[in-house]
Amino acid sequence: MMTTTKKAPIATKASNASSRAQRNHNREFKYGIFDKDGVLIDSIEKYHAFFNDALNRHFGQTITLQYYKDIATKNWLEVLLPITKTTEALMKCVDDYHEITASRAAELSMYNGVPELLDGLKHSHGLRMFVTSSSFQKAVDETLKHTGLAGLFELAIGNNGKKSVRKEEHFQLFADHVQLSLDEFAKHAFILEDMAHGIEAAIKVGIYAIGITTTLSRAELKAAGADEVIDRHEELLDII
C-alpha cells in the first residue's frame, strides 16, 4: 500500500463547525463523487511516460507532456491519426497503453492527505462515496487496490472499452446503486473534479461541482461552470 507524507485534517463534525458559514450552498451532502486521475491520483506524468512507452514501441515516436495533457480527454483515434497513419495500428497502441496503466498501477502515487481525508469523510461524515474515471476499468481497479483506497468506495466506474466516456452514464449508475432517481441523487451529491468535461457533465445533471486546481487553473474551472474551486484537498471540508 502506498503512503503519503502530508496529512490532511480528519473530517469531523467538530472540525467543520466553524467553517459552515463559508458554504455557498444549502445542500445536505450524502454522496461524494471523485474523479480518479488528477483528483485522487497524481498520475499525469506517469501516464505520459506510459503512453510514450507504447507510442515508441509501435511507432518509434513520443509526444511532449503538454501535448499529452491537451489530448488526454479527447478521442485519440482522431487526434493521433496524423502521427500513426492507420486506425488499426493506433488501436493496438492504445490497447497496449491501457495494459501498461493497469500492470504498472503500483507506480502511481496519491496526492498528499487523500487517504486521511477520504477516511474521515466516510467514517465521520457518513458520506457514501464513488469514483468516476475515463481510465479503463482494469486500470481503475488495480490503482485503487494498490493505493489501498478500494474499500472506501461503493462503486468505482471506468471506461468499459468505449471510444469516450460519458460521465452522465456513471452518475446514473451511482443513482441506481442507492436506489434513487438521478434528479434526487444529484440534489445530495457533489463531485470533486480537475477537468472541464467532468465539471460540465455534473452541472448538466444538477450535481454540485467542485473544481480542484491540480490540472487546470481556477479561471478555467470556473469557466467550465464549477460551483466552487479549491486549491488543496483539505479545503473540501470547508464546503461540505
| Structure confidence by residue, pLDDT tens digits, 198-216 | 999 999 999 999 999 999 9
CA atoms within a 13 Å half-sphere pointing along the CA-CB vector of 38: 25
Q: How far is CA 128 from CA 46, 116, 144, 164, in A?
A: 29, 16, 16, 26
8 A C-beta contact, residue 130 and residue 150: no
Q: Torsions phi, psi of 53, nearest 5?
A: -60, -45
> What H or E segment, with its residue span, contains residue 110?
strand 109-110
pLDDT given for residue 198 in this prediction = 94
Where do the domains of the chain lie, and which CATH numbers do they carry? 27-41+108-236 (3.40.50.1000), 42-105 (1.10.150)
The one-letter code for the residue type at 146 is H
What does pTM read for this prediction?
0.84
pLDDT tier, 75 (very low <50, low <70, confident <90, very high otherwise): confident
